[in-house]
Amino acid sequence: MKKKLFQVCFFLALFGLLLITPLGRVSAQSGWNLQVSNLSNNTVTFSYDQLLAMPQTTVYAEEYCYGNPVASGNWGGVSLSYLLQQAGLDPTVASVNFLASDGYAVSLQIQDALRSDAIIAYQLNDIALSETYRLVLPDENGNMWIAMIISISMSTATTQPGVAGGPGITLPTQTGTPSISPTPTSPQTPIPTASPVLSPSESPTLSPILSPSGKSNSVQLWNYTTGNSVASSPTVVNSIVYVGSEDDRIYALNSTNGAQIWNFTTGGYVFSSPTAASGAVYIGSYDDKVYALNATTGNKLWNYPTGGPVASSPAVVNNVVYVGSNDGKIYALNATSGDKIWSYTTRDYVRSSPKVVGGVVYVGSGDVNLYALNAVNGALIWNYSTKSAVVSSPAVVGGKVYVGSEHANVYALSAVNGDLIWNYTTGNSVESSPTVVNDVVYVGSGDDKVYALNAATGTQIWNFTTGSAVISSPDVIGGVVYIGSEDGKLYALNADNGAQIWSYTTGGYVGSSPDVVGGVVYVGSGDGKIYAISAPLIANSGVPMIYIIIAIILVILVIAAIILFLRKRKNKAVQQP
């Protein structure tokens, strides 16, 4: 009887080991290396285990191949931007090339490779991928989702997105009537140099200070003082922090120590947040202009004059800059020359920042509407009235558009026709821009709260109350929601239940939206400072509960088997003469 029990325990333990290693991950994937090469032809080889140890990014995405569904769910992996930075991403990189073990190849423009939702996935719904690594690009055709990747290389060559042996990404032709004929303009004149000078008042403060909130797991690495409030949201690319300030300047800072690399002076406040793409930084200013600056030197490449202040943050897709202006227009500009391709006129200011997905530009206006425009010619596809100004910038995920309104609502609309799917009413205006991760919509409100809503139904999952209005937009990384509040604090909340993990108190309101890169949170404050706060990624384990239960059972079975084995040996020893 004991012998049979021992055998049962042994085989159960063996079976448990197989289950706890999903789809043979250790045997199949552990030997699959990924090589990443930079412009200096230096190649870094990452093992499967090294990728697993990196900060995990999870995105919900649906893979379609020319309209046919292939796979969908929560894809887990490493941010492509993070991986490129680990290998040494240079500001002059214009494209990224991928090669699969079967010879299939894909090329991406750098702005697409640096998308926050572009990842190198190694699992789907917590199960290891049989193809080991796959490029995940939400809302792009499946021919770009290259699998079995063995190498990634960076290039200075400007390329249209495409794949070896297959068609590239094409923008779908939309129907609609343009509100205004495209009007070309001549290139801007120009090009003074930026000033890479550190004045005493602009020196970074290096200070490994524990958060004033008393939490021990958030540490200020450095802060940099500008000449006025910082409502602009930082963008971190190639270890450089780009951000604007109400002192009329745009700054480039070393992400490690906060040292100034360069600054560029515009003619007005800079509320707009920068976008870095193809070696350039694009940003708007209250001097009514959109600027393109050299990302390395800060030298002006071009500027385009609109008819009003530009608080909207540019989106750069397929070498086109999309941006709104307080003159009531949405502009499409050539990213290289600054020439206007088209503009679309709304009935009020446009502070919302455009989101471009699948050949469609989604953007809000002060005239209470959210617009969907053809990205190629600016033709109106649809618009939806929210009853109040739309300052919030839309998120487009899974065929839905999520956006806030000053009517105190968060809306989910069909990306195809603008039909209302659901709306959720908060206690005040919603200027915060939603972030959608793992079927959950995270957004702030003027009622002092941060909300987590079910992306499919709009039902509330949780809310967290801060000390003042929340106009900052959340960044969700590794199971943690990072967001600022006008109470002067930066918060880190558990993405599952909204519990506060830590908070950090700055010297002014935090309307800036945080950017989290490599375990460091970068954010601006009304005290005129840009902060770098160390926040080790407190990620969800990524291990499904079933595996945890199996592991516990496995441990119990192994212990039982050992006890039986020792007792059997003891009994044999006693029986021997």
pLDDT in tens, 121-163: 998 888 888 778 899 988 887 778 888 888 899 988 876 544 4
**Residue 530: closest CA among 295, 282, 281, 205:** 205
Q: Are 309 and 326 in contact (CB under 8 A)?
A: yes
Burial 222-241 (b: 16+ CB within 10 A, else e): bbbbbeebbbbbbbbbbbbb
143 part of a folded domain: yes
CATH number of the domain where residue 114 is located? 3.90.420.10
User: Can you give the pLDDT at residue 159?
Assistant: 62
- Least confidently predicted of 4-13, 108-117, 320-329, 378-387: 4-13
Say yes or no: 113 and 9 in one domain: no
User: CB pairs under 8 A, 24+ apart, for 450-457?
Assistant: 450/474, 450/481, 450/483, 450/491, 450/493, 450/498, 451/410, 451/424, 451/426, 452/481, 452/495, 452/498, 453/410, 453/424, 455/60, 455/397, 455/398, 455/400, 455/402, 455/412, 457/422
**Residue 162: closest CA among 139, 148, 147, 141:** 141
- How far is Cα 359 from Cα 143, in angstroms, rounded to an integer? 16
Work out the average pLDDT over 504-516: 94
96 part of a folded domain: yes
Say yes or no: 2 and 58 in one domain: no
Say yes or no: 64 and 101 in one domain: yes
Give the pLDDT confidence of 30-53 residue by residue, as tens digits: 456 888 988 887 888 888 888 888
User: Can you give the pLDDT at residue 5?
Assistant: 52
404: pLDDT strictly greater than 60: yes
Give the pLDDT confidence of 64-81 residue by residue, as tens digits: 765 667 788 889 899 898
Among 147, 163, 179, the domain-final residue is: 163
Say yes or no: 108 and 76 in one domain: yes
**Residue 465: closest CA among 453, 454, 451:** 451
24: pLDDT strictly greater than 50: no
23 — pLDDT class (breaks 50, 70, 90):
very low
Element (H, E) at 500: strand 500-505
38 part of a folded domain: yes
Say yes or no: 159 and 65 in one domain: yes
402: pLDDT strictly greater than 80: yes
Q: What distance, in Å, lies between the first and last C-alpha atoms of the chain?
A: 24
Q: Is 518 exposed, middle or buried (0-12, 13-18, 19+ CB in 10 A)?
A: middle
- How far is Cα 208 from Cα 215, in angstroms, rounded to an integer? 13
User: Can you give the pLDDT at residue 9?
Assistant: 54
25: pLDDT strictly greater than 90: no
Say yes or no: 50 and 123 in one domain: yes
Work out the average pLDDT over 174-194: 33
490 part of a folded domain: no
553: pLDDT strictly greater than 70: yes
Query: If you average pLDDT over every residue of the chain, what do you get?
Result: 82
52 part of a folded domain: yes
Say yes or no: 2 and 88 in one domain: no
58 — pLDDT class (breaks 50, 70, 90):
confident
What's the total number of domains in the chain? 2
79 part of a folded domain: yes
Grouping H, G, I as helix, E, B as strand and the rest as coil, residue 315 is strand
Q: Are 201 and 225 in contact (CB under 8 A)?
A: yes
Domain housing 80: 31-163
Q: How far is CA 255 from the centre of its chain?
A: 17
Say yes or no: 18 and 80 in one domain: no
Among 104, 133, 163, the domain-final residue is: 163
- Least confidently predicted of 167-176, 317-326, 370-379: 167-176
Element (H, E) at 2: helix 2-20
Among 163, 189, 224, the domain-final residue is: 163
Q: In percent, how much of the chain has pLDDT > 70?
A: 79
- How far is Cα 221 from Cα 531, in angstroms, rounded to an integer? 8
477 — pLDDT class (breaks 50, 70, 90):
confident
265 part of a folded domain: no
564 part of a folded domain: yes
User: Can you give the pLDDT at residue 1?
Assistant: 53
Mean pLDDT highest for which of 88-97, 427-436, 567-576? 427-436
- How far is Cα 530 from Cα 230, in angstroms, rounded to an integer? 7
User: Can you give the pLDDT at residue 188?
Assistant: 31
